[in-house]
Structure 1
Amino acid sequence: MNSKKLSHAVQVVSEAGYIAMRYFNQLHELHIEEKKKLDFVSNADISVEKYIIEALGSIYPKDGFIGEESEFKQATTSQLDADRDGYWVIDPIDGTSNFINHINYWCISVAYYDCRQQKVTLAIIHQPCLNKLFASERGAGVYLNGVELPRIDKKLDEISRKKALIGLGTGTSVPLDIEIKIITFVKSLSVGYRKLSCCALMLTEVVTGSYRGYFEPKINSWDCLAGLMMIEELGGITNDFLASTQNLLSGNVLLAGTPEFYPTIKPLLAMKMV
């Protein structure tokens, strides 16, 4: 984890975490708007994203930005600048509904998409409330607060398989009939599941081995690209989220898991919303 670019990004995201925490500790200063039904944005989201874009933009002027609150969220790939070296894909506060209700399960997620390599090469997920910072560079492992994490491709013993958990993302945009199908299938596997309304952090649960998989029928790139790269780095399996460059802007279905569990939960891909 020695690249200058990753080091710069870690520093910027760490500083952004302090900004987010100031808002989190003074919720009376939040200005909250409803973008669409039960999908909220606050001035904390906007301030954190603005800081990250300005800080990284001053260091890497040839890079572009795709953020949850940025102008690109309604863009098409034809509007992405082909002359850019890459794009920083940012979710300033993933888990906004948790954040505005003073629940500490939220994070800042940043991934770097390299235009020449056409893949994500850097990933950072920061949970300021618990002082956790995951950082990864493709081909160099995943680190939590500077300590390298073990791979997740080891086989489980019988007890570990029986107590396995998977994460689900079925927010308000998921129709009830699809949500029922998803949960019915998961329960048929005799595994536990969790829904905690923060995709990026739930992907880190796969990274650390707490979960064996994660599924969401439709998700945006800024919510998941960092976590997906980390899972791949540690030997996990993910669906081809970026099958098309358009998915950077339009999103896709998401499935990720350990090599042992991915085949078991793969039928969930049929319940996608894209």
Structure 2
Amino acid sequence: MIDEVGELLREAAARTVLPWFNQLSAEHIVEKAPGDLVTIADQQAEEFVAAGLRRLLPGSVVVGEEAVSVDDHLLRRLRDGGRVWLVDPIDGTANFAAGRRPFVMMVALLDAGVPVASWILDPIVGSLAVAERGAGCVVDGVRLADGVSGESPPLGKLRGALALRYLPDELRARVLAGVDGLGVVLPGQHCAGREHWDIATGEQDFALFWRTLPWDHVPGTLLVREAGGVARRLDGSPYDYTDDRPGLLVARSEAAWQELREALLPAD
């Protein structure tokens, strides 16, 4: 089924996402909430992927970002004991709507509430990252070495992204007070799935998020963990998608996570 889901995402990209890229008009874009966009491509892709996943795994439940935006009671299904698919048809919708990269398509499979597999597709280049719980992860068929980070670079050489937009003012001030000790602070890609991907492959060392919606982070945090990385809440507790609290710090290694927390989130 691992390969079948990947092929489903590729087909969905070819049929429902790429034809709309740089072809959207104003009537094809809706603001669900201030700054939170959905396009006709998001809607068509989610419908296509959801139907395909149900065929692949009869009796399974699909929880998609756009379906939840219409009926948030669907989120309760993530706590079901059976097999549940979590779908983000286009992660990075604002980028997609503006005709720029990155944006990705993401799926995760939950079994009895535990993420057991995830898929992230970059539709533009056709690159696919896949993670299986306890079995590692591959990118375009090439297995990532467990613990890609090796020895973590010192704090002054770490590079990563800080998503500051939604941080409360007091927390933002604390985080910004600690950035001088970091190597490179990136502006963020406005695409959580891509941030996780780049951490898993060693392209960057960390990312800090405030919003922790499950479709944004379940697929990518599984990828990071299977590559030897760490994804935890700001208080140090493991990331749990059923926990509605905001705040998530992801790093390529345990040592990097501890260094970053001490620098960016010093104890009061």
| TM-score, length-scaled by structure 2 | 0.85
Q: Residue deviations 1:83-135, cap 9 Å, x none?
A: x62211111111111111111211111111111xx321101111111221101
Gaps of 5+ in 1: none
Instruction: Give the structure-1-normalised TM-score.
Output: 0.84
Does the CA-based 8 Å contact 2:108-2:117 persist in structure 1?
Answer: yes
* CA root-mean-square deviation: 2.5
**Residue type matched to 1:13 in 2?**
L
Please list the CA deviations of residues 213-254 of structure 1 after superposition, one character each: whole Å capped at 9, or x if unmatched.
111122201001111111111111121121xx633xx46422
Secondary structure of the residue aligned to 1:75 is: helix
* Among 201, 212, 217, the residue aligned to 1:224: 217
Structure 1 position 16, deviation (Å): 1.6
Distance 1:253 1:148 in 2: 30
Contact 1:23 1:29 in 2 (8 A): no
The equivalent residue for 2:258 is 263
- Paired residues in the alignment total 256
Equivalent position amino acid for 1:198 in 2: C
Residue 42 of structure 2 corresponds to residue 71 of structure 1: no
Per the alignment, residue 209 of structure 1 pairs with 202
User: Structure 1 residues 212, 157: CA separation in 2 closer, same or farther (over 3 Å shift)?
Assistant: closer
C-alpha distance in 2 between matches for 1:130 and 1:154 = 28
Residue 165 (structure 1) aligned with residue 153 (structure 2): no
Partner of 2:184: 192
Partner of residue 132, structure 1:
127
Q: Could you say which residue in structure 2 is the equivalent of 1:49?
A: 46
Letter in 2 for 1:255: L
Deviation at 1:183, TM superposition (A): 2.9
Mapped partners of 1:130, 1:124: distance in 2: 15
C-alpha contact 2:159 2:182 (8 A) present in aligned 1: no
Deviation of 1:179 (Å):
3.1
Q: 1:148 and 1:63, CA in 2 relative to 1: closer, same or farther beyond 3 A? A: same
**What displacement does 1:266 show?**
2.3
Structure-2 residue corresponding to 1:100: 97
- Is 1:148 the equivalent of 2:143? yes
Contact 1:241 1:252 in 2 (8 A): no
Name the aligned partner's letter for residue 44 of structure 2: S
- The CA distance in 2 between the partners of 1:79 and 1:241, in whole Å, is 18
**Among candidates 117, 120, 124, match of residue 122 of structure 1:** 117
User: Which residue in 2 is equivalent to 1:61?
Assistant: 58
- Please give the secondary structure, in 1, of the residue aligned with 2:210: strand
Residue 51 of structure 1 aligns to a residue whose secondary structure is helix
Alignment of structure 1 residues 229-240 onto 2, 5 Å = 229-239=222-232, 240=238
User: Amino acid of the residue matched to residue 124 of structure 1?
Assistant: W
Q: Secondary structure at the match of 1:17?
A: helix
Question: Which stretch of the first structure deviates more once superposed, 67-76 or 140-149?
Answer: 67-76
Runs of 4+ that moved beyond 6 A: none
